[in-house]
Amino acid sequence: MAEKLALVGIGKIARDQHIPAIGANPDWSLEAAVSRHATVEGIDHFETLDALLETRPDITTVSLAIPPQPRFAYAAAALRAGRNVMLEKPPGQSLAECYALEALAKENGVTIFATWHSRHADCVPDLKAWLAERTLKKLTITWKEDVRLWHPGQEWIWEPGGMGVFDPGINALSILTEILPHPVHLSGATLEFPENRDTPIAARLEFADPSGAPMTADFDWRQEGPQTWNIEIDTDRGSARLSLGGERLEIDGALVKQGANHEYANLYARMAALVKAGESDMDLSPMIHVCDAFSLGKRVVTAPFHY
């Protein structure tokens, strides 16, 4: 029998990704939506999460597709009500919030899942398997996109807790922490803040690899024209290039796999498996890199940004 699920936050990502993925998975039945401004045809609508939790005790799982700033309060309420919780990335606006939610889930005997959709892109497992048999020599991440295209008019990303360019950049970090055969840590960062904003529009990161391999990430939200989501790797036995955010993989210059947009389908399949097993997945390694970047980063003030 399908688990009954409620989706909180009916914005662009919910309509483009969450709703189609839920509808295509027989393990889930979308029963309700929570939003102050939008509805989903054919299912119950609630303006507040409290109203949902009180009215629909039969709904076992809540998926949160809302900005990170209010997410802790929503997730905590759902967990205390005994509901499983699925968190859109990033899982919170601070590590302390995330650890507190993990503890709440355990205390209430329910599942919590910190999702990293780019980690579930089609070619990521292939690159991970390829790299596991080789010695890393160099890794370069280039993650550049146009904020006006992907976040039109969304002021929350420029406010404290919104993370700025790390909202997309954390996607690259989720892939990095998945494919590497060993952990790395941030050793330095430069963050560019528009003079009228509280979060960065660009970032340059450097990592300390145990074997000494140079490893950098370059994030920028000012890219116009073609968008760039690439990870390039040199090893002792060849090179690899992951592009399109994880949907295309080249080895030694030759295309070996071209995937499709299955990230959210894979996320909901993973959530279903966790619920059935009574387990949780709160891997916070991508978030740790972001928090370290804000801690270690040199701040550079740049031109003001306006939509």
Q: Which residues are catalytic?
A: 89
Query: 251, exposed or middle or buried, with CB in 10 Å at 0-12, 13-18, 19+?
Result: middle
Query: 263, exposed or middle or buried, with CB in 10 Å at 0-12, 13-18, 19+?
Result: buried
Q: Estimate the crossing angle of helix 166-179 against helix 285-296, to 10 degrees.
A: 120
In this structure, the number of other CB atoms found within 10 A of the CB of residue 239 comes to 15
Q: Count CA atoms within 13 Å of residue 126 on its CB side.
A: 18
DSSP of 246-288: TTEEEETTEEEEE--S-HHHHHHHHHHHHHHHT--B---HHHH
Distance from chain centroid for Cα 295: 20
Give the helix ranges, DSSP H, for 133-165: 147-150
